Chains A and B, each alone.
Chain A
């Protein structure tokens, strides 16, 4: 076999493998999104309808409570709860994480690796295992089924990983920059805000997006700690579409679309920084 032919074949194989990969990665998600725009009748049809006759926004109208045949699912409330809870817990986690990450990146202290590992191990407690005692404690404190209760839990869920990422970003910035600023007349606090913070900003944003998505997507804890429209989040709300034996696939797909879109947009914006953050934090010890 000639070399040129071999290369040609190899290139084709490469292209084919990539194509297949993209199909497997994207079709499940796309199919759900597509179903959000199709009537239930068409989704359930036998034999299957492969090419939709027309796309409709009815499912969205329905779950938001417009139109005649409305479904009594308070998606707007869920959306608002999710937004408030995820945003607040992210901001708090970022502040705590920035302080912690800076401490790990810039200071030498005893048992540093142990502290770091200890924090990580807290994160590893399975949500469902943590939900049992938190459920009991929160009931006693009277913060079950409140946004506050969930925000507190999400902050602690996000702090370890935020520290991991932010530590990595600060470590990328040479310590001499802060020193130069201090020689130039800054206090350490000024040096942080004027020099180190602007340089780590994109990384901190990436950490924020990651924390936001963790809160936005979380289910195991939220499903136990929320009860009503006061605090139920979108992932928990998805369960509203399931009855004992049936599932409203069209409505659920529409809601899935609502959950996915913000996540995808945010991911797209910060993906580069996120990868960088994960690798800095891990590789450079």
Chain B
């Protein structure tokens, strides 16, 4: 009997240790998500509480999928993420390689690089709204003072420029995640394979392409996973910089959700959209996490 209890206890310990985490997540995330799943099947409006009891099946989703505004926001979000993540990766890689070659002040540079990561996204939004302001922004002021242009460039008013400005802010904030992790990867890189490749006759591009890059890819996947956990932080930036404007031309899924739910009080419809965005995020994270798991399997082989 005693032995039986001891075995049980050994098996139960990890469950016991994990249970606070699981309970928190269930209560604060899973339960609300179930609730929002339900409300997404009703025409619920905040202004008319009784509507929560009307069950309308998948009508919200039907309406969503036939709504061109939703699809353009959806497409724009995917495009936004694709551009942002790729540029962040490439820039981050460039920065990591650059700093890796610098011999003095490396640690200071690394610390400075981390700072944008720690800025509140809402603050980043305001900061760039300030900088890109067509009238008093430092960017236009600088361009005018240098005589490059004498006009006030409407960074946040013109649709294309506004998208660019938002992407700039997002990339400014998040590139360092990639840079820092890839730099950590470069530091962890053993010297022997590099030297072996050089002796084998590889030029520096080939060494980079066939030795360095595969080695640091797991680190890139960590960065991707971390980034995909909170890509939706871009909501803060967009809502401050353009609010989805001009005329919905910078509307992302997340700002559309906020507008539908809180401004138009159509909670049911907004929840349906929120579900789509949640599934999108989960898909991104899942994709990168499995890549990470696969990559670290062969990392284990190298040790």
Chain A CB within 8 A of B299 CB: yes
Question: Do B118 and A133 touch across chains, with their CB atoms under 8 A apart?
Answer: no
Which chain A residue shows the least CB distance to B271? A132
Question: Do A100 and B21 touch across chains, with their CB atoms under 8 A apart?
Answer: yes
1/0 contact trace for B238-271 toward A, CB 8 Å?
A: 0000000000000000100110011000010011
Chain A CB within 8 A of B162 CB: no
B-contacting residues, A238-278, CB 8 Å: 238, 247, 249, 252-253, 256, 259-260, 263-264, 266-268, 271, 274-276, 278
Question: Do B229 and A123 touch across chains, with their CB atoms under 8 A apart?
Answer: yes
Which chain A positions have C-beta within 8 A of B188?
Answer: 279, 283
With both chains docked as a complex, state the minimum distance between the C-beta of B169 and any C-beta of chain A, in angstroms: 9
Which chain A positions have C-beta within 8 A of B258?
Answer: 128, 220
Main secondary structure of the interface of B (DSSP, over half): helix
CA distance A145 to B112 in the complex (A): 36
Which chain A positions have C-beta within 8 A of B30?
Answer: 122
CA distance A128 to B121 in the complex (A): 14
1/0 contact trace for A161-187 toward B, CB 8 Å?
A: 101000000000000000000000000
Question: Which one, A29, A117, A268, A285, contacts B119 given CB within 8 A?
Answer: A29
A-contacting residues, B8-66, CB 8 Å: 11, 13-15, 17-18, 20-22, 24-25, 27-33, 35-36, 39
Chain B CB within 8 A of A203 CB: no
Which chain A positions have C-beta within 8 A of B262?
Answer: 224
A267 in contact with B296 given A48-B141, A125-B278 (CB within 8 Å): no
Question: Which one, B15, B33, B113, B285, contacts A109 given CB within 8 A?
Answer: B15
Question: Do B127 and A100 touch across chains, with their CB atoms under 8 A apart?
Answer: no
CA distance A114 to B131 in the complex (A): 44
Selecting from A13-21, A56-64, A73-81, A194-202, the interface stretch reads: A13-21
Chain A CB within 8 A of B208 CB: no
With both chains docked as a complex, state the minimum distance between the C-beta of A33 and any C-beta of chain B, in angstroms: 10
Which chain B positions have C-beta within 8 A of A47?
Answer: 145
With both chains docked as a complex, state the minimum distance between the C-beta of B21 and any C-beta of chain A, in angstroms: 4
Chain B CB within 8 A of A52 CB: no
Question: Which one, B24, B226, B254, contacts A155 given CB within 8 A?
Answer: B24
Question: Do B296 and A283 touch across chains, with their CB atoms under 8 A apart?
Answer: yes
Chain A CB within 8 A of B70 CB: no
Which chain A positions have C-beta within 8 A of B230?
Answer: 123-124
CA distance A269 to B231 in the complex (A): 26
A134 in contact with B131 given A21-B95, A282-B219 (CB within 8 Å): no
Q: How many residues of B contact A (CB 8 A)?
A: 99
With both chains docked as a complex, state the minimum distance between the C-beta of B256 and any C-beta of chain A, in angstroms: 10
Q: How many residues of A contact B (CB 8 A)?
A: 90
CA distance A136 to B35 in the complex (A): 9
A-contacting residues, B62-116, CB 8 Å: 95, 98-99, 101-102, 109-116
Which chain A positions have C-beta within 8 A of B35?
Answer: 133, 136-137
Question: Do B20 and A124 touch across chains, with their CB atoms under 8 A apart?
Answer: no
Other 14 A-B pairs with CB < 8 A, given A103-B18, A249-B136, A279-B184: A99-B17, A100-B17, A103-B17, A120-B225, A120-B285, A124-B228, A124-B229, A124-B278, A124-B285, A126-B235, A126-B274, A216-B120, A235-B123, A259-B120
20 A-B pairs whose Cβ atoms sit less than 8 Å apart in the complex? A21-B98, A26-B115, A100-B17, A103-B13, A109-B11, A109-B15, A113-B293, A127-B235, A128-B235, A133-B33, A136-B267, A152-B27, A217-B118, A219-B122, A234-B120, A235-B122, A282-B218, A282-B296, A283-B296, A285-B300
Task: Name the 7 nearest CB pairs between A and B, nearest first.
Answer: A126-B232, A217-B120, A129-B274, A282-B222, A156-B28, A133-B36, A133-B32
Q: Which residues of B contact A (CB under 8 A)?
A: 11, 13-15, 17-18, 20-22, 24-25, 27-33, 35-36, 39, 95, 98-99, 101-102, 109-123, 126-131, 135-136, 138, 141, 144-145, 172, 176, 180-181, 184-185, 188, 218-219, 221-222, 225-226, 228-233, 235-236, 254, 257-258, 261-262, 267, 270-271, 273-275, 277-278, 281-282, 284-286, 289, 292-293, 296-297, 299-300
